[in-house]
Structure 1
Amino acid sequence: MTRVGLSHTLTALNAEWAQLQHSSRPPAWGFSPGATLGEVLASVRDDPDAVLGGLLGRQHAGDALAGRLVVQAMLPKLVLMAARDAEASLDEYLAAFWVRVATYPLARRPGRIAANLALDTLKSVKAARPRAVIALPRVPVPDPLADATTVLDAGVRLGVIDALTRRTLEVVYVGGRTSRDAAAVLGTSPDAVRWRCSKGVRALRAVAGQLVEQLAG
């Protein structure tokens, strides 16, 4: 994730929280001793499951402000997770987190709420991520030293992939790069890398028999 994207999102959230934190705690929030929203947030450190559980219960009952406090409580963790992720942005983590907050099974998982929310969010983000790597077709070759580049060269000779697709497949599969890293090397976008990889692999698989003949010739 870029520092620009991280800074923009954090700036908006922090500006909103600066206005909210001194507001009085709603009377229905009897699960926290804090008198203001800022004090409610601070009380999460002392009894995280009780306070987060109370906030989640209120959020599930339609109290959006309670959900916003859960986000604020978990924001440092979400920022750290996004900063360590080269593929997803803080916005994507926040979107996944909001879904987890809204659907968290409080009755079934009343303990370790913060850890559960973080892990569930990470799983959601990863599950939504397009896979950049699709296995190249396994082609039996007479030379045991033949590698993926040999298969790619044969594909070019057969005319089923062009030079740019060959280079893209080489950077991803031979170089072991992610779609984002490969895009930086190739001067294109991660989506274009994924598209070329998918199209190229399908083309090679379709002529696996001819590839065998090429490599055996």
Structure 2
Amino acid sequence: MSAEPTLITRLNTEWEWLCAAHGNADRVRSWMLSAGVLNADQAPAALDELCVVLRERADRDGAAVSDAWMGVLLQRVGAGDERNAALAARVLVQAMLPCAQRMMRRSLRDGECGEDVAQLVVASLWEVVLTYPIARRPRKVATGLRLELWHRVSRELTRELASSEQLDEELLAACPGDADPSLAAEAALLARAAAEAGLRPTAAGELEGARGELVEILMWALEREVLTSQAAAGICDHYREGAPQDAEAAAALGVSPVALRRRRSRAVARLREVVPQWVEAA
């Protein structure tokens, strides 16, 4: 998915209009203040800035903050007031759009249309937001939303992925009992996408922390044709636990260790140049 899907561009443009529209920010802000999620001096008057503050607080203070403000919005979605429900749902969709975009990138296969995958994932996202049973499942809301989205997408993308039942069994067998299943699902998608892109086969359980971030950056670089498959595979294989020495790796490729190091150095330099773009898009 080398370019942003048209649907995502439209959603982002629509979000700008929504933020600029009179009254929307006041309503969302009042919900957060009434629920005690934020104090008045912590809540910006602009809707986009308010959402940034909520995300930053969640990053700093943990999932309980995400659960709180997402729960407030989901309660509005199900409260029966159509105008407020539509606004609350749209804020949630925008908040989860980065997660949906990662899922799009990891679900896309050779020969598939990125726009079609985007349509399917975004439709699934709307369904999750509009039907999430917040009254029955008031805890771990952020995790629940991500997991529901993954389940819906995995069921729909039957041509690209194994059936959701098979994937669920794989995850159940691979995940520790205290693992966040939604994050494990994302790791499973990343592992599959990386393997199909020609990167060294990696178990989903290994895609944590810096290793997972590296593989995600390499996938992004391949999608945007920043790196060749050979260059990405070389970086992926070298920067891992138990990687072979350069002499061994070079012999397997039929090149000298010096040539291998130069090739890898050029690839790393290209990657460093574009990492800021990946950070901005993530």
* TM-score, length basis structure 1: 0.53
Distance 1:132 1:77, change over 3 A: closer
| 2:122 aligned with 1:94 | yes
| 2:40 aligned with 1:39 | no
Cα distance, 1:115 vs. partner? 2.0
1:12 aligned partner: 10
Aligned residues: 134
2:97 aligned partner: 75
| Rounded Cα–Cα distance in structure 2 between residues aligned with 1:57 and 1:37 | 19
Q: Give the secondary structure class of the aligned counterpart of 1:30.
A: helix
Q: Deviations over 1:117-167 (max 9, x none)?
A: 111111111112336899xxxxxxxxxxxxxxxxxxxxxxxxxxxxxxxxx
2:31 aligned partner: 30
* Greater Rg by CA: 1
Q: CA RMSD in A?
A: 2.8
| 2:106 aligned with 1:84 | yes
Q: 2:86 aligns with which of 64, 68, 75?
A: 64
Is residue 124–residue 149 contact of structure 2 (8 Å, CA) maintained in 1?
A: yes
Q: Which amino acid aligns with 1:31?
A: M
Distance 1:129 1:30, change over 3 A: closer
Is residue 9–residue 90 contact of structure 1 (8 Å, CA) maintained in 2?
A: yes
Q: Which amino acid aligns with 1:17?
A: W
Is residue 22–residue 38 contact of structure 1 (8 Å, CA) maintained in 2?
A: no
| Rounded Cα–Cα distance in structure 1 between residues aligned with 2:70 and 2:5 | 26
* TM-score, length basis structure 2: 0.42
Distance 1:35 1:124, change over 3 A: same
Distance 1:85 1:113, change over 3 A: same
Is residue 74–residue 114 contact of structure 1 (8 Å, CA) maintained in 2?
A: no
Distance 1:44 1:90, change over 3 A: farther
Q: Deviations over 1:55-74 (max 9, x none)?
A: 11112223201100001111
| Rounded Cα–Cα distance in structure 1 between residues aligned with 2:10 and 2:66 | 25
Is residue 74–residue 88 contact of structure 2 (8 Å, CA) maintained in 1?
A: yes
Distance 1:51 1:132, change over 3 A: closer
Between the two structures, name the one with larger relative contact order (CA 8 Å, sep ≥ 6): 1
| Rounded Cα–Cα distance in structure 1 between residues aligned with 2:78 and 2:44 | 21
**Sequence identity, in percent?**
33
Counting only pairs closer than 5 Å after superposition, residues 145-184 of structure 1 correspond to structure 2 as none
Distance 1:133 1:109, change over 3 A: closer
Please identify runs of 4+ aligned residues in structure 1 that moved more than 6 A. Answer: none
Q: Which amino acid aligns with 2:69?
A: V
Identify the range of structure 1 (71-80 vs 59-68) with the bigger mean alpha-carbon deviation: 59-68
Q: Give the secondary structure class of the aligned counterpart of 1:109.
A: coil
Is residue 56–residue 101 contact of structure 1 (8 Å, CA) maintained in 2?
A: yes
Q: For structure 1, list consecutive stretches of 5 or more residues without a partner in the other structure.
A: 135-180, 182-217
Q: Deviations over 1:93-113 (max 9, x none)?
A: 111111111111112222322
| 2:152 aligned with 1:124 | yes
| Rounded Cα–Cα distance in structure 1 between residues aligned with 2:135 and 2:121 | 24
Is residue 107–residue 161 contact of structure 2 (8 Å, CA) maintained in 1?
A: no
Q: 2:73 aligns with which of 47, 55, 58?
A: 55
